[in-house]
Amino acid sequence: METFIHEGCMCMQWSVGGSTFKALPENGARLMHWGLKLANGTMRDIIYWPEDADYSNLAKVRGGNPLLFPFVARTFDQGVEGYWRFQGKRLPMPRHGFARDAKFELIHSDEQGFTSRLAPPTSSFDAYPFKYQFLVRYHFEELSFSVDLSLENQDEVPIPWCAGHHFYFKLPWHSGLTREDYTIHIPAKKAFYHGANGALEPAKDIAVDETFSNLAIVDRIHCKLKDNVIVFGPNSGEEPVSVVIGDDKIPAPWTCLTTWTESDESPFYCVEPWMGPPGSPEHKKGLQWVDPNETKTFSVTVSLA
């Protein structure tokens, strides 16, 4: 494990077997990059991080794993974007919440990972008026990593949340291949798009196996998962990446897997496990509650298998 300062940010790096992991434990508790050294000596990027990343504006960096907390994507209150409602009061809420560019406190690190605690910005109390502790724990293995998001309720009322991940995977990762040469397996019964007014609009003609060249999967939200394992990789079936959501073989009905990319030319494709779809405080689908003195955890594992 190494610690160093880069552009004013405290960075950490772990070498576990052939894998190298880099993270910003104090800046959004953000995993930056995962690379694997191949037999020929070259490095394969799995989690993508841009070389020109602007560390002064991390919320805008397209790479790593920005954490989405307390809610994913856009929230709406009675059709008005950027708000949600609690106990009859309209409250502001930034897109994807406020954790991805918030300050965290590193509370533990060892040779296989770290745990960081959110230091909520003062302004976030207007958006999320609760007493709580939000912890992020990463554990690194040679060919995988796991990440736990834990919310501890230190308040006297139940606290709602619907968190998620925004993994930027390198794709394509073979020279000479395109998105058409890669397939993702998503065992979902339903899929939706998030409408301009916050409505969940049903997607038509979804398939369990889709190529990444299919524009229909961009910004598509897959729910009612029949299995908690999502697999993607080359059409040959070699070198797959697995995303495992939780421990239950069949996740809760509104657990989501969202697929997104910025453009046809982007060197990444995001495969994002979420506790529920966007707008959960309004439509309640996927919204979970943590009772006083209770802690709940959302766990995900990413592996090469």
Query: Residue 176 carries which side chain, given as an amino acid letter?
Result: G
Examine the pLDDT at 11 and tell me if it is beyond 80: yes
Closest CA to 274 of 24, 137, 71: 71
The C-alpha atoms of residue 305 and residue 302 are separated, in whole angstroms, by: 9
User: Are the beta carbons of 238 and 232 closer than 8 angstroms?
Assistant: no
Examine the pLDDT at 305 and tell me if it is beyond 80: no
The H-or-E segment that residue 14 falls in is strand 9-16
- Return all residues near 135 (Cβ < 8 A) that are at least 6 apart: 107, 115, 116, 117, 118, 148, 149, 150, 152
**Is the Cα dihedral 207, 211, 212, 215 positive or negative?**
negative
Within 10 A of 165 (CB to CB), how many other CB atoms are there? 25
Rg (CA), the chain: 19
Query: Model confidence over 193-252: pLDDT tens digits?
Result: 999 999 999 999 999 999 999 999 999 999 999 999 999 999 998 899 999 999 999 999
CATH number at residue 259: 2.70.98.10
Q: How many structural domains is the chain composed of?
A: 1
Where residue 136 falls among pLDDT bands split at 50, 70, 90?
Answer: very high
Examine the pLDDT at 134 and tell me if it is beyond 90: yes
Query: Residue 59 carries which side chain, given as an amino acid letter?
Result: A
Q: Which two tokens stand for residue 221?
A: 């939200």
Where residue 122 falls among pLDDT bands split at 50, 70, 90?
Answer: confident
Partnered with residue 92 across adjacent β-strands are 83
Query: Model confidence over 53-76: pLDDT tens digits?
Result: 999 999 999 999 999 999 999 999
Query: Model confidence over 267-300: pLDDT tens digits?
Result: 999 999 999 999 999 999 999 999 999 999 999 9
For residue 111, the SS3 value is coil
Examine the pLDDT at 115 and tell me if it is beyond 90: yes
The H-or-E segment that residue 148 falls in is strand 144-153
Q: Which two tokens stand for residue 302?
A: 């990413």
The C-alpha atoms of residue 134 and residue 151 are separated, in whole angstroms, by: 5
- What's the whole-number mean pLDDT along residues 100-122? 95
Mean pLDDT of the chain: 96
- What's the whole-number mean pLDDT along residues 10-18? 97
Q: What is the DSSP letter of 55?
A: T
Percent residues over pLDDT 90 in the chain: 95
CA-to-CA separations, 204 to 111, 221, 276, in angstroms, rounded: 46, 12, 20
Examine the pLDDT at 304 and tell me if it is beyond 90: yes
Chain centre to alpha carbon of residue 116: 16
Residue written as tokens 């020279």?
175
| 59 phi and psi angles, rounded to 5 deg | -60, -25
Q: What is the pLDDT of residue 123?
A: 83
**Does pTM surpass 0.95?**
yes
Q: What is the pLDDT of residue 120?
A: 86
Partnered with residue 244 across adjacent β-strands are 229, 301
Q: Where in the sequence is the domain holding 270, given as residue range(s)?
A: 2-304
Q: What is the pLDDT of residue 209?
A: 97
Concatenate the DSSP letters of all residues of 175-211 into one string.
Answer: TT--GGGEEEE--EEEEEEE-TTS-EEEPSS--SEEE
Q: Which two tokens stand for residue 107?
A: 């509370």
Q: Which two tokens stand for residue 295?
A: 């802690």
